[in-house]
A and B are shown apart, each in its own frame.
Chain A
Amino acid sequence: MEQRLRLEAKALLEQGKVSCVIGFEVGSLRFTTTPLITGDRDATGRLVLNPFMANNLSVYLPGIKEKVAVVAKGCDSRSIVSLIQDNKVAREDLVIIGVPCSGIIDLAKVEGLVDKDRDEIDDITRHGDKVLITVNGDKREYPVREVLFDNCLACETPTPQEYDILLGEPTAAAGDESRKAGQEKIARLKAMAPDERWAFWRSEFERCLRCYACRNICPACFCERCFVEETEPTWVMPIPRWQDNLLFQVTRNLHVAGRCTDCGECERACPVAIPLRSLAREMYDIVSELFNYRAGTDKEAPPLLTCYEPTDVEDFIR
């Protein structure tokens, strides 16, 4: 597959169909990938496909003025469609290289499982629904479900629906058990009393640095000027106090409602490990429950909050 990706990417550049390719290459840290953005046909030899390609590359697309090819997993391709819906990128400017995904490995889970730091792990390889982790020459096998990101466990669309080239066979959506595992953290939060839940989020946001990594990595956060940077009026104080941190994040989630595809990038980007996906996914589920709306599944559909149905929920209105 990797070989085919390299050939396709090279051919696209050579034939002048695109001026740039956005994909993954091996990262500088072990068991990571890093985005590769290149117009150089020889550099396409560095493209990789592996279970560590976590980034949602669609974040680079808004505002792009040339034709580009982009590698997209299921969630990424939905983010791309969502950007098309918002007129942030034109379909005809894209060559979407779809990759049917079977889940991305969460290194933190691997570390927890073998109780070793990533630097002490020799190798991690995936074989179907098993993962082989080698530590000090000792090979251990685990079900892959134990090491995938929560959002992958609960993924509804691992195979891209929108693509020009599809690399490989479609993969199936997560089964009930897997989905349940992916939603476990959220279920625990929902089982709490409201006060307890507020206290939980409050303590999480006491750590927030307001680095805005979550916003910057999010493909659905594409505003050129964010409300947090407004000074007339100042909606949120720039000092990272928990009150304003929380207000920022709640508002951000409201802004990405109907655009968020539960790619999990916000949580991965957060340097202080705030469980941001537990916010994003809940909004995703609210939107799908109330409006049967799934972000990025229909490029002709108007964005969620720019349309309405006469029969929309009203039971909360007095």
Chain B
Amino acid sequence: MGQDSEWQPRILGFLCRWCSYAGADLAGTSRKKYPPSIRVIQVPCSGRVDPLFILKALRLGFDGVLVSGCHPGDCHYQTGNYFTRRRMAITKRFLEYMGIDPRRLQVSWVSAAEGAKFAELATEMTRELKELGPNRLFTGEEQANGTKTAP
């Protein structure tokens, strides 16, 4: 892609407060290393994540979005994540049809005990997005030149 090797993607993470947020917290307290590329917004449940949040994040220039909740069966509200699963399945497919690389939207189940999984996920996603390069979808720039214009 020709961008400089220091370039760090910016990822917006929507983590449910009961599992994934606690998982990310555990990654921190257990001193697991992961890149500082992810910014976290806590949501009450992954079911709170409106696809509009994802589009808006991409529109604002985030390079990737992560939506993470409890494993199936473990949602604090019993079934919230099942609705998330349906909603995200169609969102991911439709974004792909628009021409957005599906790697820019990731969905995961991370429990409160899976600090290591969260750290790995953040590392992996960062690596993938580095491969993919900056999100210029909404900037109107055709050429990759390592800079971003404000949307």
Q: Is the interface of A mostly helix, strand, loop or mixed?
A: helix
Known contacts A201-B99, A287-B90; A312/B85 CB under 8 A:
yes
**Whole-angstrom distance from the CB of B151 to the nearest CB of chain A?**
6
Known contacts A305-B86, A310-B72; A253/B94 CB under 8 A:
yes
Contact B89 A318 (CB under 8 A): no
Contact A286 B94 (CB under 8 A): yes
Contact B90 A283 (CB under 8 A): yes
How many angstroms from the CA of A243 to the CA of B88 in the assembled complex? 22
Among candidates A194, A195, A246, A312, residue contacting B86 with C-beta atoms closer than 8 Å: A312
Among candidates A202, A243, A254, residue contacting B151 with C-beta atoms closer than 8 Å: A243
Q: Mark B80-119, 1 if CB is under 8 A from A, else 0.
A: 0011011111111111111111100011110000000000
In the complex, chain B residues whose CB is within 8 Å of the CB of A142 = none
Nearest A residue to B92 by beta-carbon distance? A316
Tell which of B51, B89, B91, B151 has the most Cβ of chain A within 10 Å: B89
Q: Mark A250-292, 1 if CB is under 8 A from B, else 0.
A: 1101100100000000000000000000010011001100110
**Whole-angstrom distance from the CB of B127 to the nearest CB of chain A?**
13
Contact A201 B98 (CB under 8 A): yes
Contact B86 A243 (CB under 8 A): no
Chain B: interface residue total (CB-CB under 8 A): 36
Contact B108 A318 (CB under 8 A): yes
* Stretch of B6-14, B34-42, B52-60 contacting A (4+ beta carbons < 8 Å): B52-60
How many angstroms from the CA of A278 to the CA of B133 in the assembled complex? 28
**Whole-angstrom distance from the CB of B88 to the nearest CB of chain A?**
7
**Whole-angstrom distance from the CB of B112 to the nearest CB of chain A?**
17
Besides A199-B99, A254-B90, A317-B88, 15 other A-B contacts (C-beta < 8 A): A198-B98, A198-B100, A201-B99, A243-B151, A250-B94, A254-B52, A282-B94, A306-B83, A308-B83, A308-B85, A310-B72, A312-B85, A316-B92, A317-B108, A318-B109
Binding site for B on A (CB under 8 A): 189-190, 192, 194-202, 227, 235, 242-244, 246-247, 250-251, 253-254, 257, 279, 282-283, 286-287, 290-291, 304-306, 308, 310, 312-314, 316-318
